[in-house]
Amino acid sequence: MVQNIIDVRNLSKSFDISSKEPGLKGTIKHFFRRQTKSLKVIKDISFEIKEGEIVGFLGANGAGKTTILKMLCGLIYPSEGSILVSGYLPFRRKENFLKNITLIMGQKQQLIWDLPPIESFYLNAAIYGLDKFEAKKRIKKLSEMLEIDEELFIPVRKLSLGQRMKSELLAALIHEPNILFLDEPTLGLDINAQRNLRKFLQNYNKETNATICLTSHYMKDITSLCKRVICVHEGEISYDGKLDLLLKKLSPVKEIIIVCRSEEDAIKLENSGFTIKNKIKNEITIKIDNNSITSSLKTILNNFDIEDLFINEPPVDEIIGKVLIKKDYDI
Amino acid sequence: MISNLINNKIFTLLKVQYSNMLEYRVEIALWAISGIIPFFMLNIWTSNNLNESINISDVLLSRYFLCAFFVRQFSVVWVVFSFEEDSLMGKVSPYLIQPLNPFFRYFAQHLAEQITRFPFALIIAFFFFIFNPETIWIPNLSILILSILSTFLSFLIQFLIQSIVACLCFWTEKASSIERLLFIPTLFLSGLLAPVVSFPEYVKSWIYLTPFPYLIDFPANLLSGNETNIRGGLSMQILWIFLLFPLFKKIWSEGTKKYTAMGS
């Protein structure tokens, strides 16, 4: 049986936020009497993640995804509830716990700006207690996986965003962590760089059975990496389960565009009991329930003279977009 | 085994930070030049014959201010500004989840900067001796070693004070403004502008209870060969380190609970 590597129970986090009215009057008032209020950004959430799972955290901006990741890796202190990651309380930041995890933030970097990445790699290797021989071996392996070579010896400030991101990944993975927390790792990367990064993460997960917790606004990251998603809405979990189940639930029908050889066939199909979305001459768009798609297509192909046929998958972004603005999904 | 690992961490950290500092060698040369306040003060003291009031000869006073310059060069600390920026920009976040306190990075940065600074400080001293050949002296080896130790202890005290202030970033976000308040007593009571011996007796007795005279005045007097209580001075430096270190640990531990990782 696969063990739970992350166990979160009734977790909440509040921040003290100061507010100020606009204008000079507001500024003076704010100077003499600062008003702060406690804002609960994470509200009593619970979930578990199994070893080797890749889980995507979805939510609108400010929903609380990054705050959850920051608490999971021990960067910030939870206000209430409990977190166990790999058997450790993250915030205590015990050495063995820190050697097991890594956090990669798409918009933040740990590489030393004026030096080539290789210097930061050796520094990180020393910090994680690796000897030079082991460090060299891991740098070689990871740089091959990430397809970086010459970039290792060029000052970070002169690298492109994609090259920098790859180097960041290498620096963050040199200690071969079991748990990866990735906060928008593909932010700002071009399509090819995004694809390469996803491929790398898939391979890393496959080779090391590492657990990956990921947030991203690019749906392609989520659909190609995560089988399971946790949707966060205003600090609460609105959905926790399989991604394909969520997609089916939110988009229960598919649109099929059928081009008939003749208009007579199109009329025949129009009157055959399928739900018709529209018909233009001999081209008909019908809606078919996800559960009966195979049988329906079989019927159509057997009974009508079909010239061409397209299955129109609804855009995932659109479907997920619905989740981000709704509170509960009972799947 | 453990000491090997620690040595490896510290040695690599120093090596990398030194490479990084070499990228800024021009800036560091300018910083070294900008630390010549003691020479201005020397000029004010000697041109107004102020040294007569404290019974110190021109030569000894010149040596004192040259040593004050040297001690200042190797004990200057700016950790509060670096930490404040890193903390506000969220740059400290990746360091917080590494098995090494982020202050070790700043510590290594300072040491690396001092090594980079060293040749520039020597060049300035060389020119000082050209214009003031009568001040040339060779301290004996034991005094030299004790002076280096005392300068390092002075650096540790300043690093700990600023690190404590830097940790206030977790509460106030602009901790450097508190450091500016500390800069005033540091400037006047440390011996940078005037040897502490020049203060009135009743003021002196209070000053020696603070950490400030052990930052510049004590190591500079030690190195320049002026009369000083070596054992007392070193003991006070060590005492201040023992007082400040647990305070830093406590404030760090409480502060990180307040960390919100903003900017990231």
pTM: predicted TM-score of the whole model, two decimal places: 0.83
Task: Give the whole-angstrom CA distance, residue A78 versus residue A62.
Answer: 17
DSSP secondary-structure letter at A315? P
Task: Give the whole-angstrom CA distance, residue B218 versus residue B208.
Answer: 10
Q: Is A187 on the interface with B (CB under 8 A)?
A: no
Tens of pLDDT, residues B214-257: 999 999 999 998 889 999 999 999 999 999 999 999 999 999 98
Task: Give the whole-angstrom CA distance, residue B158 versus residue A66.
Answer: 36
Confidence of residue A251 (pLDDT cuts 50, 70, 90): confident
Domains of chain A: 4-11+46-248 (3.40.50.300), 252-313 (3.30.70.1650)
- Residue whose pair of structure tokens reads 């970033």 in the numeric block: B169
Q: Is B3 on the interface with A (CB under 8 A)?
A: no
Domain boundaries of chain B, sorted by first residue: 2-262
Partners of residue A93 in chain B, C-beta under 8 Å = 96-97
List all residues 6 or more positions away from A126 whose beta carbon is below 8 Å from its beta carbon. Answer: A135, B8, B9, B11, B12, B13
- 3-class secondary structure, A142: helix
Q: What is the pLDDT of residue B5?
A: 53
Task: Give the whole-angstrom CA distance, residue A196 versus residue A18.
Answer: 42
CB A131 to CB B8 under 8 A? yes
To the nearest 10 degrees (0 to 180), the angle between helices B217-224 and B58-73 is: 130
**Chain B residue closest in CA terms to A114:** B20
Question: Residue B97 is nearest to which of A103, A115, A126, comparing CB atoms?
Answer: A103
List all residues 6 or more positions away from B236 whose beta carbon is below 8 Å from its beta carbon. Answer: B208, B211, B214, B218
A237-A238-A241-A245 Cα dihedral, nearest 10 degrees: -170
With 90 as the cut, is the pLDDT of residue A30 above it? Answer: no
Q: What is the pLDDT of residue B227?
A: 85
Question: Residue A76 is nearest to which of B9, B99, B261, comparing CB atoms?
Answer: B261
Question: Residue A15 is nearest to which of B23, B94, B260, comparing CB atoms?
Answer: B260
Tens of pLDDT, residues A275-330: 888 888 888 888 888 778 888 888 888 888 888 888 877 777 777 777 777 665 55
| Predicted ipTM beyond 0.90 | no
B132-B138-B142-B146 Cα dihedral, nearest 10 degrees: 20
Partners of residue B95 in chain A, C-beta under 8 Å = 110
Two tokens, residue B138: 């060779």
Tens of pLDDT, residues A143-194: 888 888 888 999 999 998 888 888 998 999 999 999 999 998 888 778 887 8
Give B173 to chain A, closest Cα distance, Å. 13
CB A98 to CB B9 under 8 A? no
- Residue whose pair of structure tokens reads 């300018």 in the numeric block: B30
Closest by Cα among A100, A76, A98, A93 to A12: A76
Give B111 to chain A, closest Cα distance, Å. 16
